[in-house]
């Protein structure tokens, strides 16, 4: 399999030089969300830890390097500097991790997230490319949406039972968070001043967003529901108040038995009489409490215990979860604090602040679109608090690719503003 991965990587690099970084970036973002289960099947079939996905990850890193070499000035942008600080903190934490191989894998994964943000930031030189990037972000959901329909047709009990929709992804939560981003991109494209859509296209996109919202319900991922609700309410209150009327129909989703059961599950299994008897929210709170109590008596210092260290330390303070160690901490804030210390947590918050500031600076040119992207950041922080979000590569790629594309519009606007001045100076000479 290693030889096959190297061959795939070589072929993809040659293809990149032939087609260009921008076209290959768009192709990867379009196709990759549909490949998770296929790639996992290949790994299991050959009994390997790495599969074709590793070649795609390496390609993304290679494209980012090529792009930065050609446009090095983007490294001075506030979000890129914040990414550099976060990755530097993660790299330093590798020095004292008890799992250097796992830690290195996590670090390289984080670098691909930065690459997913930086690639559109570097390749976007005109407004048409922004539209291309966001269209690809939405288009990448078409095949997963079709597969989800087939999955629902094959397993209609998803509507009334405990089964959950996951489409081409390896877990329903990943698909749910992915849908939240796609729906938000649709809202952005229909309200942004930088994008012009025909009336038919707008209606078609809203209809598709409604279909995606239905699929989101069937994933039965409550944190994604909350995130989506925050985004839609914010959009309805600030951007287009006509949709406040539609919000009145939200309680009707409780008529879906599977949704009602998922909500009522929060009211059972709340007493810590055994890990298996707790509901998913209650056992999260137990893990967080035990983790924080252990950290209080074993200070991690400013740089934490090292990347991917939590799985090694978990049996020490949570022995009843030893056999379930792979479930993770389900709180990415606490995970960063545990593994990367206070320095990691502060650098991550500065990264989000830099992105938010870039979006706020766009309010004058595109208030509605920038506000929708800010809502996406808020929704991201909500699910960041309650899940292993750093492990969800496909969701993270789409999230950061989308933000990179929108933040690039701020850089593009600055370039356009400087262009007339440059022309005047040339004429003066």
For the ranges 41-45, 133-137, 209-213, the lowest mean pLDDT is seen at 41-45
Nearest to 232 by CA among 36, 340, 379: 379
The Cα 185–Cα 37 span in angstroms is: 24
pLDDT of residue 327: 73
Please state the rounded mean pLDDT for residues 96-108.
93
Share of the chain above pLDDT 90, in %: 61
Please state the rounded mean pLDDT for residues 196-222.
94
pLDDT of residue 398: 97
pLDDT of residue 412: 72
Q: Which residue has the higher pLDDT, 49 or 90?
A: 90
91's tokens: 């790299």
pLDDT of residue 427: 42
**Are the C-beta atoms of residues 258 and 272 closer than 8 Å to each other?**
no
pLDDT of residue 43: 76
> Does pLDDT of 424 surpass 50?
no
Nearest to 390 by CA among 241, 174, 187: 174
The Cα 394–Cα 179 span in angstroms is: 11
> Does pLDDT of 250 surpass 90?
no
Nearest to 162 by CA among 276, 280, 49, 58: 280
Give every CB contact of residue 184 below 8 A, 6+ residues apart in sequence.
231, 372, 373, 375, 376, 379, 402
pLDDT of residue 359: 94
112's tokens: 């691909």
pLDDT of residue 112: 97
Q: Which residue has the higher pLDDT, 281 or 288?
A: 288
187-199, pLDDT tens digit by residue? Answer: 999 999 889 899 9
Give every CB contact of residue 110 below 8 A, 6+ residues apart in sequence.
86, 87, 90, 390
> Does pLDDT of 403 surpass 50?
yes
Nearest to 170 by CA among 347, 359, 391: 391
Contacts 24+ apart (CB under 8 A), 408-412: 408/120, 408/121, 408/124, 408/130, 409/124, 409/127, 409/130, 409/194, 409/362, 409/366, 410/358, 410/359, 410/361, 410/362, 411/74, 411/77, 411/121, 411/124, 412/124, 412/125, 412/126, 412/127, 412/130
pLDDT of residue 353: 97
pLDDT of residue 422: 41
Please state the rounded mean pLDDT for residues 274-283.
69
Please state the rounded mean pLDDT for residues 26-47.
86
**Are the C-beta atoms of residues 371 and 234 closer than 8 Å to each other?**
yes
Q: How far is CA 124 from CA 56, 76, 130, 401, in A?
A: 21, 16, 6, 12
- Helix ranges (H only) for 192-330 are 199-219, 222-234, 244-247, 257-264, 280-297, 310-317
298-354, pLDDT tens digit by residue? Answer: 887 899 999 999 988 888 877 665 555 567 789 999 999 999 999 999 999 999 999
For the ranges 46-60, 294-308, 413-427, the one whose mean pLDDT is highest:
294-308
**Are the C-beta atoms of residues 198 and 205 closer than 8 Å to each other?**
no
369's tokens: 């679109």
What is the distance, to the nearest Å, from the Cα of residue 199 to the centroid of all Cα atoms in its chain? 30
pLDDT of residue 272: 56
For the ranges 37-46, 108-117, 291-300, the one whose mean pLDDT is highest:
108-117
* DSSP structure class, residue 308: T
> Does pLDDT of 147 surpass 90?
yes
- Given the structure tokens 């792979």, which residue do they identify? 326
> Does pLDDT of 169 surpass 90?
yes
Please state the rounded mean pLDDT for residues 393-415.
87
Per-residue pLDDT band at 421 (split at 50, 70, 90): very low
> Does pLDDT of 232 surpass 90?
yes
């Amino acid at each position: 399999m290693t030889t096959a991965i190297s061959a795939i990587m070589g072929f993809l690099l040659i293809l990149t030089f032939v087609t260009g970084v921008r076209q290959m970036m768009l192709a990867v973002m379009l196709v990759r969300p549909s490949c998770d289960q296929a790639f996992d099947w290949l790994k299991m079939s050959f009994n390997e830890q790495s599969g074709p996905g590793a070649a795609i990850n390496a390609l993304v890193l290679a494209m980012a390097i090529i792009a930065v070499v050609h446009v090095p000035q983007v490294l001075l942008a506030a979000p890129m500097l914040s990414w550099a600080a976060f990755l530097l903190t993660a790299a330093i934490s590798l020095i004292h991790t008890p799992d250097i191989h796992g830690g290195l894998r996590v670090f390289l994964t984080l670098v691909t997230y930065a690459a997913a943000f930086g690639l559109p930031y570097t390749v976007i030189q005109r407004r048409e490319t922004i539209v291309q990037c966001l269209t690809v972000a939405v288009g990448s959901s078409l095949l997963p949406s079709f597969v989800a329909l087939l999955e629902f047709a094959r397993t209609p009990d998803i509507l009334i039972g405990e089964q959950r929709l996951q489409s081409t992804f390896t877990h329903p939560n990943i698909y749910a968070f992915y849908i939240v981003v796609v729906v938000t991109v649709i809202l952005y494209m229909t309200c942004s001043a930088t994008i012009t859509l025909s009336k038919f296209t707008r209606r078609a996109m809203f209809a598709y967003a409604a279909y995606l919202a239905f699929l989101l319900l069937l994933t039965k991922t409550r944190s994604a529901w909350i995130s989506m609700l925050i985004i839609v309410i914010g959009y309805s209150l600030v951007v287009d108040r006509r949709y406040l009327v539609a919000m009145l129909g939200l309680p009707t989703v409780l008529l879906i038995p599977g949704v009602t059961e998922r909500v009522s599950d929060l009211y059972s299994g709340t007493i810590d009489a055994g890990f298996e008897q707790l509901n998913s929210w209650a056992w999260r709170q137990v893990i967080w409490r035990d983790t924080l109590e252990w950290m209080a008596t074993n200070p991690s210092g400013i740089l934490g215990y090292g990347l991917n260290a939590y799985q090694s330390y978990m049996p020490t303070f949570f022995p009843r979860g030893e056999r379930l160690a792979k479930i993770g901490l389900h709180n990415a804030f606490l995970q960063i604090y545990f593994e990367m210390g206070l320095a990691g947590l502060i650098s991550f918050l500065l990264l989000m602040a830099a992105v938010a500031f870039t979006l706020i600076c766009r309010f004058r040119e595109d208030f509605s679109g920038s506000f929708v992207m800010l809502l996406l950041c808020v929704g991201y922080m909500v699910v960041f608090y309650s899940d292993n979000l750093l492990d969800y590569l496909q969701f993270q790629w789409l999230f950061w690719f989308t933000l990179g594309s929108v933040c690039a519009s701020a850089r593009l606007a600055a370039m356009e503003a400087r262009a007339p001045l440059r022309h005047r100076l040339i004429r003066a000479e």
